[in-house]
Amino acid sequence: MESQKRVLAIHDISAFGRCSLTVALPIISAAGIETTVLPTAVLSTHTGGFSGFTYRDLSDDIMPIYEHWKTLNLTFDALYSGFLGSIEQIDMMERIFAHAKSHGSLLIVDPVMADNGVLYAIFPKEFPRQMARLAAKADVLVPNITEACLLLGGEYRKPPYTKDYIESLLRKLKEFGAKSVVLTGVAFNESELGAATITDDGKISYCFLPLIEGYYHGTGDVFGSALTGALMNGKTLAEAASAAVEFTHESIMRTKQAGTDIRYGVNFEQSLPGLLERLGI
């Protein structure tokens, strides 16, 4: 029997509101992967639409936790990083990435910092330039359109996009250093939304499904976690992106049909059987 894969998920914990680690841990685990967590912060809720949330920075704990794991000779088949709360944490990730890469880890980087053309208010203006250091080290970089533009220093454009524009972003991100890229929030018209991928050999593919109106929190983490689980199950980049698009779409649809408060995240839990079927588990 093949040995079980192990992934290290590096995200914050938003205690309420399905995103970051409360999404990554169950989704990647359900995909049959041993999931280790390295929390970057603890919040009472995520920051989208809630006020008065608590926030505890865990920077002081990150390196001691990882150094302890090194004494145990723990290694990971992949690292999947998301929300990093400060430039100091980016510095830490560079050190962790270098060690993990020397032991053969796949580096999956979601440069969580912006959406809809706007850098999240908690980040200083120089944050994207610093995040670019990690993005350049990624084996799989998973930005949305806004994050891609910030990493490249370009101006954000609203959808719909042209194929030439999307493929230019993909190629520039690869030239930037990332070996492969999965770009989310891709739309060529007003009725479909999806993702575009470029592999290390430059092959580009797309996956689209009908657009569901509204803004749903945590969907980027749902997508990234499903993508990670699919890659760890031997799917190609295009196959993994397609599975993640379909899973995210199904989760949003369940939430919309139920009329749930969009701040609470999407119903990915009841969509997990469909994901596992797509992964052949």
DSSP string, 78-126: EEEE----SHHHHHHHHHHHHHHHHTT-EEEE---SEETTEE-TTS-TT
Q: What angle do CA 64, 66, 68 make, to 5 degrees?
A: 70
Task: Provide φ and ψ at 59, rounded to 5°.
Answer: -55, -40
- Report how far residue 209's alpha carbon sits from residue 212's, in angstroms, rounded to the nearest whole number: 9
Task: Provide φ and ψ at 4, rounded to 5°.
Answer: -70, 135
pLDDT in tens, the chain (281 residues): 779 999 999 999 999 999 999 999 999 999 999 999 999 999 999 988 899 999 999 999 999 999 999 999 999 999 999 999 999 999 999 999 999 999 999 999 999 999 999 999 889 999 999 999 999 999 999 999 999 999 999 999 999 999 999 999 999 999 989 999 999 999 999 999 999 999 999 999 999 999 999 889 999 999 999 999 999 999 999 999 999 999 999 999 999 999 999 999 999 999 999 999 999 99
Query: Residue 52 carries which DSSP code?
Result: S
| Secondary structure class of 37 (helix, strand, coil) | strand
Q: Scanning the structure block, which residue is given the tokens 């998973």?
A: 142
Check residue 164 and give left, alpha or beta (phi > 0: left; psi -120 to 50: alpha): alpha
The ranges assigned to domains in the chain are 6-275
What is the CATH architecture assignment of 6-275? 3-Layer(aba) Sandwich (3.40)
To the question of pTM greater than 0.95 for the whole model, the response is yes
Beta strands in 112-244 (DSSP E): 114-115, 118-119, 140-141, 180-186, 192-198, 204-210
- Report how far residue 240's alpha carbon sits from residue 237's, in angstroms, rounded to the nearest whole number: 5
- Report how far residue 250's alpha carbon sits from residue 37's, in angstroms, rounded to the nearest whole number: 26
| Secondary structure class of 95 (helix, strand, coil) | helix
Q: Tell whether omega for the bond before 210 is within 30 degrees of 0, i.e. cis.
A: no
Query: Residue 179 carries which DSSP code?
Result: S
- Report how far residue 115's alpha carbon sits from residue 121's, in angstroms, rounded to the nearest whole number: 11
Amino acid at 245: V
